[in-house]
Structure 1
Amino acid sequence: MDNKLTIRDVRTEDAERLVEIYAHYVQNTAVSFEYEVPTVEEFANRIQKISAKYPYVVCLDQDKVIGYAYAGRYSPREAYNWTVTTSIYIDKDHHRKGAGTLLYAALEEKLRERGIVNLLAGIAYVEEEDEYLTHDSVYFHQKMGYAQVARMMTVGKKYDRWYDLLWLQKKL
């Protein structure tokens, strides 16, 4: 891990940089099932809405944001109040430098403080990797202690191809 990397809470003014990071995944991969890159304003609204209730952190290399992670509500039903979904995106040029591990460690610490017990990650999946989707996210989450608990077959279509959705879970 690079000791230059630091973690801090997201700020609304990070929206433009976060859109730059996320745009790669929307436009070039099946990692995100969104077809259109959100506007900076829309992303700023997402940041405000999510961070009002759940942790949302960014990773910086020097002063540049290179990744982000956040938790979100799994279900509005009260019985699920101890379960969240997690999401993480790293700048395409900063993979395998430790940012993801640092982001998830910070996110998990904040979630523990809030009494969260279950983390769920929905991950696009295809049996054989293609030019739009690798198994990197699955491997990363497994490395972080997540285990597969469900596989929904052919639920997302992007680039005229069908993708599965894996649900991985981690107990804090």
Structure 2
Amino acid sequence: MLSEGADVQVRPGVDGDLRALTALYNHYVSETAATFDTEPFTPEERRPWLLSHPEDGPHRLMVAADSRSQEILGYATSGPFRPKPAYATSVEVTVYVAPRAGRRGIGTLLYGALFEALAGEDLHRAYAGIAQPNEASVRLHERFGFRHVGTHREVGRKFGRYWDVAWYEKEL
């Protein structure tokens, strides 16, 4: 599957993307509260994560790359919502955009491709947890039909403070 827009290709993630995907994620680990991981990863530490997102099935990894340079501009994933079997028809989704690629519609392209890829899967709901405040992420999720279903108050501690996580839900 290939989506294009503004010199951007959206495609499934592959092993050759691992180093760039790890660097992108590590930016969010080190600089933001968007993830509650607190220590950067090596590519080898992230390999199991990459391998947990095959090209088919309910757990996907979609990558946005510059059509000319192949630079990774962002990625979106769907993964298990919770590990118990009865949750199998629910996924947790997330999107990360390279800081220099923000406000170019990359997140929209990625989620569009991800939800298109998931359309044929036996899935019922998608969930997204958004550390607050993050208005850009809230707007992106609402654009894709997510609705706010609750907030966990001060659920994570990072950078010496507590953060709320707002939970959003979408029918699939």
* TM-score over 0.5 for the pair: yes
Do structure 1's residue 146 and structure 2's residue 146 form an aligned pair?
yes
Q: How many matched pairs?
A: 165
Query: Quick one: distance in 2 between partners of 1:60 and 1:75?
Result: 30
The match for 2:128 is 121
The match for 2:39 is 36
Query: What's the TM-score once normalised by structure 1's chain length?
Result: 0.89
Do structure 1's residue 85 and structure 2's residue 88 form an aligned pair?
no
Do structure 1's residue 104 and structure 2's residue 111 form an aligned pair?
yes
Q: State, as a whole percentage, how many aligned pairs show the same letter.
A: 32
Partner of 2:149, secondary structure, is strand
Query: Quick one: distance in 2 between partners of 1:40 and 1:78?
Result: 29
Query: Quick one: distance in 1 between partners of 2:117 and 2:31?
Result: 31
What CA RMSD, in Å, does the superposition of the two structures yield over aligned residues?
A: 1.6
Query: Quick one: distance in 2 between partners of 1:51 and 1:37?
Result: 23
Which digits, 9 at most, give the CA deviation of each residue in 1:101-137, with x for residues without a partner?
11111111111111212110011114xxxxxxx4221
User: Counterpart amino acid of 1:16?
Assistant: R
Partner of 2:52, secondary structure, is helix
The match for 1:135 is 135
**1:2 Cα deviation from its structure 2 partner:** 4.5
| Between 47-56 and 102-111, the greater mean CA deviation after superposition | 47-56
Q: Which is bigger in relative contact order (C-alpha 8 A, separation at least 6)?
A: 1
The match for 1:76 is 83
Query: Quick one: distance in 2 between partners of 1:43 and 1:2?
Result: 28
Unaligned runs of 5+ in 1: 127-133
Query: What's the TM-score once normalised by structure 2's chain length?
Result: 0.89
Partner of 2:53, secondary structure, is helix
